[in-house]
Amino acid sequence: MSSAAAVEGRPLAGHTTRLPWPFPDDLDSFRYSVNVEPARVPRPTAAGEWGAHIVDLGGEEYGAMMAERRRILDADPHRVRILPGMLPACWDLLLYYLRDLAISFPHIMELSEDGDHLHWRNHALGTDQSFVLGDAASLPYDPMTFLGREIPDDLLLVKERDGRLCFDAGLVTFAAAWSVSFDVGMTMDEIHNPVPRLTKEGITSRAEQFLRRLPADQVYRRVNWTLSASGSRKLDVSLEELPAWGTDIPALVRDEEWGRLQLRIEVEHFVRLPMTGAVTFNIRTHMTSLDEIRRVPPWRDQLARVVLELPEDLATYKGFADYREPAMAWLTGEVTA
Ligand code: HEM
């Protein structure tokens, strides 16, 4: 089906046309798996296309997302956690991403290199920074924070410690109901223990195998999804902010405002950084409302099938077991907008 044929009513918003729809065309039932695939491969969807680059700047939303990211970082320094020994990996991350950004978006981003002396310019945000690789005093922030203030992705670094893969550094402002301060330092098993089925069905250990074998010259990605814990397009639904969003869904359910419910999609990129061997698990969060999804019939029908079919334990973990039926009934009902 062509994009135009798939769309009803008003034109779709820019973020909808770029949305990384999380389900393959023929999927009717969703279960957890090690669903990784090569990155930097554009993928067409029923409404547009996504995935050409590692970073999705977000089109017209870029400025607003970065203002929100910077506001949170300024207000709460605990959103950045770098465990001892992880600074070299943060420099590695910064250099890898700045090079990648300059190649992906040459019209707005430039990096010039002269040995360890670098000059970064981001014309969209007005950044113009010369610095020396590895010299903390030459940047206004630590290298992970400097990068986190330029791109909308949450940044997570995994490194082997005592024979285990550990989440040892992170900058996270848009967590889906978890906390970087709580999870930092944990092993893959410890992080994934609360997720039903994952560890018992061997998925956590297969994911760990995948991370251990990730080659330095190939980038992979994975898409994850849920219905957001907030009824607005609020990106920051971290545990730190629970008092600010905890009553959103009960209010939305009470008022039956199903169109406001948000599908929250995470695109996660796995890169083995060339100098330190640390692996990234960088998360770019996208959101779209049921109101928007309702206007793309293949998405509307597939989301309803997948959500209604999901076993109770997974729907409970994802937080929508109690309201999925009326929400999906609204989604597949007559379009009145
Ligand atoms: C291929 C590798 C991985 C797979 C297949 C995987 C899979 C999953 C799945 C299925 C969930 C449940 C999410 C949901 O249903 O909404 C989850 C949650 C999570 N994952 Fe992973 N994961 C992987 C790698 C990682 C890595 C490397 C990290 C950390 C650096 C990580 C951190 C987390 C966190 C923080 C959560 C939220 C846990 C919570 O709710 O407390 N994951 N993961």
Mapping DSSP onto H, E and C, the string for the chain reads CCHHHHCCCCCCCHHHHCCCCCCCCCCCCCCCCCCEEECCCCEECCCCEECCCCCCCCHHHHHHHHHHHHHHHHHCHHHEEECCCCHHHHHHHHHHHHHHHHHHCCCCEEEEEECCEEEEEECCCCEEEEEECCCHHHCCCCHHHHHHCCCCCEEEEEEEECCEEEEEEEECCCCECCCHHHHCCCEHHHHHCCCCCCCCCCHHHHHHHHHHHCCCCCCEEEEEEEECCCCCCCCCECHHHHHHHCCHHHHHHHHCCHHHCEEEEEEEEECECCCCCCEECEEEEEEEEHHHHCCCHHHHHHHHHHHHHCCHHHHHHHCCCCCHHHHHHHHHCCCCC
268 inside domain: yes
Name the residue with the closest Cα to ligand 1, atom 32: 191
133 inside domain: yes
251 inside domain: yes
Question: Could you give the number of structural domains in the chain?
Answer: 1
pLDDT digits (tens, 9 = 90+) for 165-200: 999 999 999 999 999 999 999 999 999 999 999 999
298 inside domain: yes
Full domain range(s) for residue 325: 3-332
pLDDT digits (tens, 9 = 90+) for 231-252: 778 899 999 999 989 889 999 9
* Ligand 1 within 6 A of CB of 30: no
Res 5: pLDDT: 39
Q: What's the CA-to-centroid distance between 117 and ligand 1, angstroms?
A: 36
Residues catalogued as catalytic: 222
337 inside domain: no
The residue whose CB lies within 8 Å of the most ligand 1 atoms, and thus the one to mutate among 86, 157, 195, is 195
Rounded mean pLDDT for each run of 10 residues along the chain, 337 residues in total: 49 86 96 98 96 96 97 97 98 98 98 98 98 98 98 98 96 96 97 95 96 96 93 88 90 93 97 98 97 96 98 97 96 68
Name the residue with the closest Cα to ligand 1, atom 23: 207
Mean of per-residue pLDDT scores for the chain: 94
Ligand 1 atom closest to the Cα of residue 156 is 30
- Length of the chain, in residues: 337
258 inside domain: yes
Which distant-in-sequence residues (6+ apart) come within 8 Å of 250 by Cβ?
A: none
61 inside domain: yes
28 inside domain: yes
